[in-house]
Chain A
């Protein structure tokens, strides 16, 4: 079960907009998931997360972070990020993580 989704970008600003939308989507479906956005240098203060989503603009850090972290890391799709489609990002993330057998 996914309990905590972490999002990160350069300063945590634009990902925080997406988080707002994702939280709304989760509430609609009565899901009890913590979703937060941080600046990339503060990722390590949230090692209790189940999954990390990177803003596409820092997608080049995927390799590095995948090596470093114990939970899966994904890069958010550009088009969904542009339109801040929280519902779709949440749905797809949960699908991906659950396929991963967590």
Chain B
């Protein structure tokens, strides 16, 4: 391992993760958690893997009350996405936050088509969840970032309205303050009119055709997910928080499918997207739990025993840092193979289990700190728990030869040290 490679990698990662768009999407998507959790809780209550329960809520009509929790979160997720992205981007570029948020929401609605609907006797125009739900997420990202940025540029440029000198400065200032907001929204109104003249008819359709459709191919593939998981472990090998670096890409590619599934299940439709971010969170594999338990029970070396004591409880909840830096796994060629392959094998096992019809498609988010077996059960019933147990065996099998080798090496190092101390 050349130091220069690690340095260059670190520089590259620094460059990537300090990019304003990457930073905004990573932070903003993380901030959506309370909203997606409410949606997930609703979906969980509706699809809880216990037949008497589902019968009970259907018969009592409770199911309709629960589904509100999904309708008001998953089905209009794009609105919340516009808010958090405008918040984070304006925070990062040091622009006015509340004005950016307002302008971004207005701009998003400006480019969102309304649909005529017949209510009783009269026809009214409505926003449909077709545009505000998972399908609108890409539009939400693009418009929110663009609106926030335009607002900032126009504010910075300080476009002035030439007022006659007789007008008091305070009065001309009050007009100037309105220019960035009015200017930004006007630009989107013009964009909307222009796109209306093209084959796409509206901005949503245009962005879907140009961006989302090509990306959906990538985001729908298990191999993209496996590759990104592998890339994450590769970063970890150099001591860089892998999923922290890849989260912006992961969320952009896989979150819309997760939200779509959750929406569907809560409204009684089947989930169709196998590869999604909720699937990734639940079935990336209980690697840290398995390894920390191994560390607690198996080592003969003092060094690994000490790490085991620190690592086992956090390991239950999926926290790996004590092991990453304590064993260490960072820059440790002995553990590189099992560390890289564990998430790959785990994801493929879970994917296979869904493909053969053993396990249901994941449409529920559990916090990634939820202990395995329980998390599998919550998202996919007893089959989910079984899949996680199979993953545990697979991970154990992957690690054990390398783990034993490392332990033996540490034992002989420790013996050598003791003998030196004793002066043998």
Contacts and interface: CB of A to CB of B under 8 A. Distances in A.
Interface SS of chain A: helix
Nearest to A68: B92
Contact of A17 (B236, B322, B323): B322
Interface string B229-257: 00000001001110111000000000000
Given A57-B241, A61-B18, A78-B328, A41 B321 contact: no
Interface residues on B, range: 20 to 34
Interface in B77-110: 88, 91
A82 interface: yes
Contacts of B91: 44
Interface stretch (B9-17, B120-128, B340-348): B9-17
Given A10-B241, A44-B91, A82 B18 contact: no
A60 to B, nearest CB: 5
Interface centre among A14, A61, A63, A82 (most CB of B within 10 A): A82
B240 A82 contact: no
A18 to B, nearest CB: 9
Contact of A60 (B13, B321, B327): B13
B321 A9 contact: yes
Contacts of B321: 9, 14, 17, 55, 57, 81-82
Given A13-B319, A39-B30, A84-B310, A61 B325 contact: no
A22 to B, nearest CB: 14
Contacts of A57: 236, 239-241, 244, 321, 324
B259 to A, nearest CB: 21
A63 B7 CA distance: 14
Contacts of B17: 60-61
A61 B14 contact: yes
B187 interface: no
Interface residues of A, number: 23
Interface in A55-88: 55-61, 63-64, 78-79, 81-84
Interface string B301-340: 0000011001000100101011111111010000000000
Contact of B18 (A14, A56, A64, A81): A64
Contacts of B245: 60
A83 B322 CA distance: 6
A7 B306 CA distance: 24
B244 A64 contact: no
Contacts, number: 81
A78 B322 contact: no
A41 B31 contact: yes
Interface in B279-310: 306-307, 310
A78 B239 contact: yes
A59 B27 CA distance: 17
B325 A60 contact: no
A83 to B, nearest CB: 6
B369 interface: yes
A14 B314 contact: yes
Interface of A: 9-10, 13-14, 17, 39, 41, 44, 55-61, 63-64, 78-79, 81-84
Interface of B: 10, 13-14, 17-18, 27, 30-31, 88, 91, 236, 239-241, 243-245, 306-307, 310, 314, 317, 319, 321-328, 330, 369
11 contacts: A13-B314, A17-B319, A17-B322, A41-B30, A41-B88, A56-B239, A61-B18, A79-B325, A81-B325, A82-B321, A83-B326
